[in-house]
Amino acid sequence: MKRILTPLLLLLLFPGVSCSQDSAGTGNFEPSVDAMRLLSHVEILSSDAYMGRRAGTEGGHMAQAYVQQQFEELGLQPACSESFVQTFPFTASDSSPAEGANLIAVIPGTGSAAGSVVVSAHYDHLGTRNGEVYNGADDNASGTAALIELAREFTANPPEHDILFAAFDAEELGLVGARAFVRSDCFTASDVRLNINMDMISRSGAGELYASGTYHYPFLRPLIDGVPRKGPLTVLFGHDEPSDGFGDWTASSDHAPFNSAGVPFVYFGVEDHPGYHNPSDDFDAITPEFFTAAVSWIHDVLRVLDGAVDSFPD
């Protein structure tokens, strides 16, 4: 069993983090998000108590409740409904009918222009197998944590366009939650112009984050590439061309249904690592300074893209 991270333990693990209010810096850069909270979400969601967060299981419901509570504490509005929860049916591995739950919040834009941006991350993982918990720290407690902390920043400084924050369920069972969202009235009513999807963004010894998808939407690349990196972060483009074969990630996570619906996307993720879909995908194995640098940069990219939506080609 893991313990909940105390600030003292955080400092031991991540000596660059300062707990003082005015300088939550990591070493030599100033993060655009709250690094302490970011790491805390990952440690909690990837603890054994959440039993691998498999869709439709008790652990999955616990993760749903955690994200929902964070959305409520941030004072976010439900998108398209009176509730954050968007349920959908799926078939469990034992062939029994089951129900998944996306959580969809919105931060209204301050501008008058039409169109919205969907920021997404799946919160489910693989569950337990043969008595081992697949904790899914990188996949995808990391993206879920980023989703929450990006929502915090955009609550404090609202976007120009409506931004929907979508915590999807049942990604590991075939992008089921994201597909249900794109089929829903909420997707249609929201006039979605861009999807920013985060899935595995916290573990790279080389400090490398992919911004994938610009092969399909080349107008996005200079906008993204122009955003300065901070901290230990190298941004790579790719993993999005048919010639990449099995390395083409175009259909590999929740951005795929958006792409199929004609919505431009950017997928942020790291190269596959030894922990990928293994019980060793643990909190202890993520690279905290890289993670913080990656989410900070994604935040800055999201600001730029929010400001550029009106200039996207039809």
The binding site for Zn ion (CB under 5 A) comprises 139-140, 199
Q: How far is the CB of 97 from Zn ion (least distance, A)?
A: 24
Counted residue by residue, the chain has a size of: 314
Least separation in angstroms between residue 225's CB and Zn ion is 25
Q: How far is the CB of 143 from Zn ion (least distance, A)?
A: 7
- From CA 232, how far away is CA 77, in angstroms rounded? 34
- Nearest CA to 144 out of 102, 87, 108, 184 is that of 102
> Based on CB atoms, which residue is closest to Zn ion, 26 or 197?
197
Contact 293, 232 (CB under 8 A): yes
Query: Taking every pair of C-alpha atoms in the chain, what is the biggest distance, in angstroms?
Result: 53
Q: How far is the CB of 194 from Zn ion (least distance, A)?
A: 20
Alpha helices in 29-141 (DSSP H): 35-45, 58-73
Q: Which of 186, 203, 216, 72 is nearest to 120 (CA)?
A: 186
CA 22, CA 258: separation in Å to the nearest integer?
38
- Nearer of residues 124 and 160 to Zn ion, judged by Cβ: 124
Q: What is the DSSP string of 259-290?
A: HHTT--EEEEEPPP-TTTTSTT--GGGS-HHH
**Minimum distance from residue 276 beta carbon to Zn ion (Å):** 9
**Cα separation values, 246 from 83, 111, 249, Å:** 38, 41, 8
- Amino acid 21 reads Q
CB of 55: closest distance to Zn ion in angstroms?
A: 12
- Residue nearer to Zn ion on the CB measure, 47 or 140: 140
Q: Nearer to Zn ion by C-beta: 139 or 240? A: 139
Least distance CB 54 / Zn ion (angstroms) = 13
Q: What does the block give as tokens for 259? A: 């792409």
Between CA 175 and CA 197 the distance in angstroms is 12
Q: How far is the CB of 122 from Zn ion (least distance, A)?
A: 6
Residue closer to Zn ion (CB basis): 55 or 227: 55
Neighbours of 312 (CB within 10 A): 15
Taking the least distance from each CB to Zn ion, the nearer of 89 and 174 is 174
| CA distance linking residue 134 with residue 125, whole number of Å | 7
As a whole number of Å, the CA-based R_g of the chain is: 18
